[in-house]
Amino acid sequence: MQVALMVPCYIDTFYPHVGIATLELLERLGVDVVYPEEQTCCGQPMANSGCYEEARATEEHYARVFSSFDCVVTPSGSCTHHIRNKFSAGSDSPEKQNLVRNTYDLVEFLHDVLKVREFPWATFEHKVALHTSCSAIRGLNMASMSERVHDPVFSKPKALLSGVPGIELVEFERVDECCGFGGTFAVTEEAVSAKMGFDKLAFMQKASPDCIVSSDMSCLMHLQGCARRQKQDIPFYHLAEVLNGVSL
């Protein structure tokens, strides 16, 4: 099975090392990965703002690039959620159905498809505050939701990270409260967005983590922006980097 790697536009531009870590990780696991070079973006920023008309061309391009692959993997819960649940480009064509069926967030792919739980090439003897995005939790069922008090507690990213020798995942309050990124919300309602980010950081900091990790770079981009503004130099890592064996 060949896997097409989708690298979200903001990772391509600002955090290419996350794309690199994802690629290297998949290669380490023996996956046959290709990176279709014509890819750009999944259309989420426009669609998320209600401007689905202005997302159409981008989504159609995306469909052209990816719909024929049996498996598409991306290190982004929010993009996966968009493609799986919100993609509007084109009618309910076989291509679109293919996209919906075959797109995986990296965590889902590792946890559910490859079913890998150990990452022996990595060591990470540090305390990690793990943040899981709302798209991942509520859009992709990647972890249990605190509101649903009777559901069994689980977290796929936690299950994966626990396979990295030496890692310690710290507990903090309001674990699944939104970090405040929310797509264009981050700029259209930036005061509230930033406050949510500062609050999330404060709750995490109470647990004295060495770093903050997430499988969604968009949340980390926002949290990092908030942290740096407060002159906090705590490092931020994408989950792919930790599993791939990054050192602090």
Partner 1 sequence: MSSPIDQAKNAEKFLADTVHEQRLDKLLWAMRMRRDAAARLVPEWEELRTLASEIKEHALSHLSDYLTQFEAKATANGVIVHWARDAHEHNQIVYDLLAEQGADTLVKSKSMLTEECELRPFLERRGIRVTETDLGERIQQLDDQPPGHIVGPAIHKTTKDVALLFSQKYGSDPNNEDVAYLAGVMRENTRPDFLKARAGMTGANFLVAETGAIVVATNEGNADLSANTPELHICSVGIEKIIPTMESLAVFIRLLARSATGDTITQYTSTFRGPRKGAAMHVILVDNGRSARLGMNRFWHSLKCIRCAACMNTCPVYRRSGGLSYGSTYMGPIGIIMMPTFEIRKYSELPFSSTLNGSCTNVCPVKIDIHEQIYGWREVMEENDQIQVVKKEAMRVADEVLSHPTLYHIATTTLSPALEVLPHFAVYNRLNAWGKHRDVPEPARGTFHEWYRNHRPNRNEVER
- Contacts of partner 1 in 139-168 (CB under 8 A): 139, 145-150
CB 129 within 8 A of CB 213: yes
Q: Residue 172 and residue 206: Cα distance in Å, rounded?
A: 7
Which one of the spans 1-9, 91-99, 106-114, 163-171 is the region binding partner 1 (CB under 8 A)? 1-9
Contacts to partner 1 from residues 92-131, by CB under 8 A: none
Measured from the CB atom, the residue of 17 and 28 that comes closer to partner 1 is: 17
Measured from the CB atom, the residue of 38 and 171 that comes closer to partner 1 is: 38
Structure-token pair, residue 190: 């930036």
Taking CB under 8 A as the criterion, the residue among 183, 216, 239, 240 binding partner 1 is: 183
CB 220 within 8 A of CB 212: yes
Taking CB under 8 A as the criterion, the residue among 97, 123, 141, 188 binding partner 1 is: 188
Measured from the CB atom, the residue of 55 and 130 that comes closer to partner 1 is: 55
Q: Residue 93 and residue 59: Cα distance in Å, rounded?
A: 14
Q: Residue 170 and residue 130: Cα distance in Å, rounded?
A: 8
Nearest to 214 by CA among 191, 234, 240: 240
Q: Residue 132 and residue 116: Cα distance in Å, rounded?
A: 19
Q: Give the other-Cβ count within 10 Å of 75's Cβ.
A: 30
Taking CB under 8 A as the criterion, the residue among 28, 113, 116, 138 binding partner 1 is: 138
Taking CB under 8 A as the criterion, the residue among 121, 165, 192, 248 binding partner 1 is: 192
Contacts to partner 1 from residues 27-46, by CB under 8 A: 33-41, 43, 45-46
Residue 197 engages partner 1 in binding (rule: CB under 8 A): yes
